[in-house]
């Protein structure tokens, strides 16, 4: 229900009154128009304001000036954006934390945020070497401090030499610092067994999200049935759906096979693509490997099949490989799309367009706050590359401390350097602990009747299937909630554990899941898993 208020310009008072408006003093006419605003009022030709009926008018008839920017007049694509990882459940978790700190009684002593891959927040320690170099770069006076190891100093010196005025406070080139891009290229060559990498194809980014968003932005065009469609896995990391919503692109869902440990079937890609061709113009295929939220690690064969599919169907490939060091399961190994593409020979390596993404936020580093990342593009059209560089120049450059950190990730201490042993010790400790926690999570969850969890082969999450009783589903629906949101909210209120419902990532109709990170310290994770188990049993009992 809306009121339109006009001061008499455009519509005169009489016309507005005739249309059911009420004279309200001060030359104002208040017009009720139940739901829709006359186009005339929105066109800007009429000096008219409209207010939500729920807002009180003051007694003297002066109506508060209505907002220019309201939920009804804002960018509609922004309204379509959803991002479950920081959605309502997290807002409630923050509220609960505040209530606890204010002394309110709860059935738990602390809120455990297992909703987001935020390693340091869960107690993971940063790599000493990385932080030493960042301190040296921040305050170069420390280069004279004898307590810092020489390799940290030489890295810092090299980074500062690449900065304007030798300061991290200077803008870098929009594509990123030259020497960092060179180091990234060398890293990729080493990682991929010598496959060549051109630093000109490297773009440093503000976390991987920024790179993914930018690539999608380049790809989107057309209207109606020629509008760009982008294939994403279901379940997906909701950055993808959010970005596509914001860009007004068409999201094409392909479903991962939960029965086969979240594997990717080419026949399912084909089905999704063939259907989508009827209503949009599919142009890109996004893959997350290792998987988020599903934790699977793709086989080399599967990657080859995907590349072949992309070539055949003329799709631009986007490979989200931010968890490339997070592989735990025996027999699993990370294969980069770039490497497989090159091994498939020039028919593919000279033609298939690929952008791959990496980040400082995951793996053993977990440095989310620095917002570092890079993207490598292959076989990208030169004119498009020029457009990309131009687009990036508008936001000037990615944060330089994040670029410095990315440099350290791709160029860590080498054997023989003073920091090498400690670096390896710290990295191994973090990755071993993650592997142990991945195993533990799968094991404990699979002891619960009504929960079934695929092996966490990689990444940082489990995404178990949960059975929700019919009665609970009905109650959730009555409250206008997704059943797994209802389940997760209840768990949060009763146990303090903050998970993300599967509906935030997408799942097969009628199935329910949650995403839980494996990041809490092992003793805390054990308690958390037992609490999840107890909650699930209680919940099932309550609603059966």
What's the Cα-to-Cα distance from 390 to each of 214, 500, 516, rounded to whole Å?
A: 12, 37, 39
The Cα–Cα gap between 455 and 418 comes to 38
Cβ closer to a second copy: 33 or 142? 142
CB of 33 to a second copy, least distance (A): 18
Reduced to 3 states (helix: H, G, I; strand: E, B; else coil), residue 4 is strand
Distance in Å, CB of 473 to a second copy, minimum: 26
User: In the complex with a second copy, which residue's Cβ is closer, 29 or 444?
Assistant: 29
Q: In terms of DSSP H, where are the helices of 71-206?
A: 76-79, 88-101, 128-138, 150-161, 178-191
Q: Which is nearer to a second copy, 366 or 455 (CB)?
A: 366
Query: Facing residues of 327 across strands?
Result: 458
Nearest to 517, CA basis, from 323, 232, 244: 323
Q: Compare residues 355 and 448 and give the one whose CB is closer to a second copy.
A: 355
Q: Which is nearer to a second copy, 30 or 250 (CB)?
A: 250
| SS3 call for 202 | strand
C-beta closer to a second copy: residue 46 or 491: 46
Tokens 């609490």 correspond to: 531
Beta bridge partners of 7: none
Least separation in angstroms between CB 168 and a second copy: 5
Residue 192 has a CB neighbour count (10 Å cut-off) of 19
Report, in Å, the least distance between residue 348 CB and a second copy. Answer: 9
- HSE (CB half, 13 Å, CA atoms) of 154? 10
Taking the C-alpha atoms of residue 26 and residue 275, their distance in angstroms, rounded to an integer, is: 59
Pairing of strands 281-288, 228-234: parallel
Closest separation in Å from C-beta 507 to a second copy = 20
Residue 390 CB, nearest approach to a second copy (Å): 6
**Closer residue to a second copy (CB): 352 or 460:** 352
The secondary structure element, H or E, covering residue 450 is none
3-state class of 504 per DSSP?
A: helix
Query: How distant is the alpha carbon of residue 2 from its chain centre?
Result: 37
CB 456 → a second copy: shortest distance, Å? 21
């Amino acid at each position: 229900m809306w009121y339109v208020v006009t001061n008499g310009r455009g519509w005169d008072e009489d016309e507005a009154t005739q249309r059911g408006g009420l004279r309200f003093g001060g030359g104002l006419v208040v017009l009720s128009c139940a739901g829709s605003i006359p186009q005339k009022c929105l066109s800007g030709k009429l000096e008219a304001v409209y207010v939500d009926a729920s807002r009180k008018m003051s007694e003297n008839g002066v109506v508060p000036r209505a907002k220019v920017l309201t939920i009804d007049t804002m960018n509609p694509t922004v309204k379509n954006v959803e991002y479950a990882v920081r959605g309502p459940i997290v807002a409630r978790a923050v509220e609960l934390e505040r209530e606890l700190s204010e002394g309110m009684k709860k059935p738990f002593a602390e809120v455990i945020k297992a909703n987001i891959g935020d390693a340091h927040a869960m107690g993971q320690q940063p790599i000493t070497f990385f932080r030493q170099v960042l301190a040296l770069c921040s305050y170069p006076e420390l280069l004279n401090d004898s307590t810092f190891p020489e390799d940290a100093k030489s890295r810092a010196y090299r980074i500062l030499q690449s900065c304007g005025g030798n300061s991290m406070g200077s803008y870098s080139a929009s594509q990123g610092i030259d020497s960092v891009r060179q180091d990234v290229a060398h890293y990729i060559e080493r990682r991929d067994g010598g496959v060549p990498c051109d630093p000109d194809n490297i773009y440093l980014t503000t976390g991987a999200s920024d790179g993914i968003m930018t690539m999608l932005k380049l790809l989107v065009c057309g209207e109606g049935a020629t509008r760009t469609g982008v294939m994403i896995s279901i379940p997906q990391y909701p950055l993808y759906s959010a970005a596509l919503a914001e860009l007004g692109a068409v999201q094409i869902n392909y479903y991962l096979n939960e029965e086969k440990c979240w594997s990717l079937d080419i026949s399912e890609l084909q089905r999704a693509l063939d259907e989508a061709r009827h209503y949009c113009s599919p142009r890109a295929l996004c893959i997350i490997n290792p998987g988020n939220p599903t934790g699977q690690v793709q086989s080399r064969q599967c990657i080859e099949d995907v590349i072949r599919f992309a070539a055949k169907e003329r799709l631009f490939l986007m490979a989200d490989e931010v968890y490339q060091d997070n592989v735990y399961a025996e027999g699993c190994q990370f294969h980069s799309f770039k490497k497989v593409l090159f091994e498939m020979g020039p028919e593919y390596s000279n033609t298939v367009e690929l952008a791959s993404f990496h980040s400082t936020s995951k793996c053993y580093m977990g440095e989310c706050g620095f917002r570092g990342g890079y993207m490598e593009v292959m076989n990208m059209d030169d004119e498009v590359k020029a457009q990309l560089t131009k687009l990036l120049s508008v936001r000037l450059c990615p944060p330089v401390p994040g670029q410095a950190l990315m440099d350290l990730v791709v160029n860590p201490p080498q054997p023989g350097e003073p920091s090498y042993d400690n670096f390896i010790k710290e990295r191994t400790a973090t990755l071993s602990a993650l592997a142990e926690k991945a195993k533990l999570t799968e094991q404990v969850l699979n002891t619960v009747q009504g929960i079934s969890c695929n092996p966490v082969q990689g990444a940082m999450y489990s995404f178990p299937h949960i059975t929700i009783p019919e009665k609970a589903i009905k109650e959730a629906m009555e409250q206008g909630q997704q059943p797994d949101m209802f389940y997760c909210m209840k768990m949060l209120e009763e146990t303090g554990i903050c998970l993300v419902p599967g509906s935030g990532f997408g799942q097969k109709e009628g199935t329910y899941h949650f995403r839980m990170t494996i990041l809490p310290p092992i003793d805390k994770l054990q308690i958390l898993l037992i609490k999840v188990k107890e909650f699930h049993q209680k919940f099932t009992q309550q609603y059966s």
